[in-house]
Amino acid sequence: MSGLDSGVPLIGILRGFDADRIERLVAAAARGGFRNLEVTMDSKGAPDLIRAGRQAAPPGVRIGAGTVRGLEDLRAALDAGADFIVTPVVVEDVIRRCRSDGVFIVPGAFTPTEIHRAWDLGADLVKLFPADQLGPAYVRSVKGPLPEVKLCPTGGITVESIAAYRLAGAEAFGIGGQLFQKPRVEAGDWEGIEREARRYVEAWASSGSQSR
């Protein structure tokens, strides 16, 4: 299995956690309805964490790699079994390699030029990061001249803001610290994380009717 589950196109971002917590967080988020989770490659021992996430993931849940900054990161992520790749910026050689090898690729971009370049190189989605610096109005403005580009706002996405972003034209979301809040993780509040994941999934589902 590879790629992104587009039925619930929310990507939970796991950064800086150890293997035990990765396993528990993947399980909790999956119980809450998340179907896509990424382990960032700047986490210590990231390839092993990807493997741990895959082992903990129930059927149907994809485990990808984020913060992929070059071909070395890409090879390590794919060798570990990553189902999709996310970059922090427009890393052209990574996008081209993923495109040629049939790997689902979500490059990060911010300006209209970067967004267009990432899409032109073959991105499946373009991660708009950091989204909270400009908000839903920016998504709407970008989608005006670039309606074909599928945008994935990431950074500061809350349960309450999903509807506005989706109404503006967003097709997916990346969610990190707002979902995997450090106090909850440190307290081992896996049920709390499951509840928060479910809130995001429900917000996504209900925003569909508002966007039509």
pLDDT tens readout for residues 72-129:
999 999 999 999 999 999 999 999 999 999 999 999 999 999 999 999 999 999 999 9
Q: Mean pLDDT throughout 23-48?
A: 98
Residue 175 lies in a domain: yes
Give the pLDDT of residue 85. 98
Confidence grade of residue 210 (pLDDT, cut at 50, 70, 90): low
Question: What pLDDT, on the 0 to 100 scale, is given for residue 178?
Answer: 94
pLDDT category, 172, cuts 50, 70, 90? very high
Residue range 27-41: mean pLDDT, rounded: 98
Q: Residues of the chain with pLDDT > 70: what percent? A: 97
Long-range own/partner contacts, residues 134-139 (CB < 8 A, 24 or more apart): 135/161, 135/164, 136/161, 136/164, 136/165, 136/167, 136/168, 136/170, 137/168, 139/165, 139/168, 139/169, 139/170
Name the residue among 198, 191, 144 with its Cα closest to residue 175.
198
Q: Tokens for 108?
A: 């990060």
> Phi/psi of residue 108, each to 5°?
-90, 145
What is the CATH number for 181? 3.20.20.70
Query: Do the domain assignments include residue 65?
Result: yes
Tell me the CA end-to-end span of the chain in Å, nearest whole number: 31
Judge whether 127 counts as a catalytic residue: yes
196 catalytic per annotation: no
In a domain, 4, yes or no: no
- Note the pLDDT of residue 2: 65
Q: Catalytic residue, from 23, 38, 191, 196: name it.
A: 38
CA distance 163 to 20: 33
Instruction: Characterise 51 by phi-psi region: left (phi > 0), alpha (psi -120 to 50), beta (else).
Output: alpha
Considering the domain boundaries, does residue 57 fall inside one? yes
Residue 2 lies in a domain: no
In the set 23, 44, 127, 160, the catalytic residue is 127
Report d(CA 180, CA 36) in Å as an integer. Answer: 14
Query: Does residue 1 carry a pLDDT above 70?
Result: no
Structural contact between residues 41 and 49, judged by C-beta atoms closer than 8 angstroms: no
Is 5 a domain residue? no
pLDDT score for 211: 52
Would residue 95 count as lying in a domain?
yes
Give how many domains the chain has, as a whole number: 1
Angstrom distance (rounded) from CA 147 to CA 198: 30
Give pLDDT, residue 6: 84
Contact 104, 87 (CB under 8 A): no
Side chain identity, residue 58: P
- Domain range for 168 is 10-207
